[in-house]
Structure 1
Amino acid sequence: MRIDHYTYRVTWSPEDQESVGLCAEFPSLSWLSRTPEAALKGIRQLVADTVVDMQSNGEEVPMPLAEKHYSGEFRVRIPPEVHRSLALQAAEQGISLNRLASAKLAG
């Protein structure tokens, strides 16, 4: 598995006063450094080491989010009064509830 397919992010940590490198597929891992570049390099190496360790222990390694297939469908449970309100909005707009919900989620 190639570690460059994982989803990396570098952000500033006000608490630590350093850049922090993160990987979405490994939410428990992080790497602090003085520069964003070093934080990215650090988290990538930490992920690589973690993947090797997981493989050597026979653990399942997370699939990169970029390689997953998404159907475009998911279920959301909402209170009945919210469902009613959304159904009314959709009817008033002359669109399906699905189209309304999709538009609201898209922002």
Structure 2
Amino acid sequence: MSIDHYTYRITWSPEDNEHIGLCTEFPSLSWLAPTQEAALVGIRQMVAEAIADMQASGEAIPEPLAEKHYSGEFRVRIPPEVHRALAMQAAEQGISLNRLASAKLTG
């Protein structure tokens, strides 16, 4: 498994006064460094080490989000009043409720 396929993010940590490297697929891992570049190098190394440890112990390795298949469908439970209000908005706009919800989710 290539560590290049995972989702990395570098952000500033005001508490630590350093950049912090994160990996979405490994939420318990982080790496602090004075530069963004060093934070990325550090978190990538931690992911590589975590994968090696997991492989050695026979644990399942997280699949990179970029390689997962998404159906484009998910269910959301909302209060009946919200459902009614959205259905009314969709009807007033002459579009399906699905199209209205999709438009609202995408901003």
2:23 maps to 1:18: no
Q: How many residues are aligned here?
A: 107
Give TM-score, length-normalised by structure 2. Answer: 0.99
- Unmatched 5+ stretches in structure 2: none
**1:48 shift after superposition:** 0.2
Any idea what SS the aligned residue of 2:78 has? Answer: coil
Q: C-alpha distance in 2, partners of 1:70/1:54?
A: 26
Q: C-alpha distance in 2, partners of 1:34/1:11?
A: 11
Q: Please give the root-mean-square deviation of Cα atoms over the aligned residues, in Å.
A: 0.4
Q: C-alpha distance in 1, partners of 2:16/2:82?
A: 41
Q: Report the counterpart of residue 42 of structure 1 in structure 2.
A: 42
Matches within 5 A, 1:1-107: 1-107=1-107
Q: C-alpha distance in 2, partners of 1:56/1:78?
A: 44
Any idea what SS the aligned residue of 2:105 has? Answer: helix
- Unmatched 5+ stretches in structure 1: none
Q: C-alpha distance in 1, partners of 2:84/2:54?
A: 47
Q: Percent identity?
A: 79
Give TM-score, length-normalised by structure 1. Answer: 0.99
CA-to-aligned-CA distance 1:46-89 (integer Å, 9 cap, x gap): 00000010111111110000000011000011111110100000
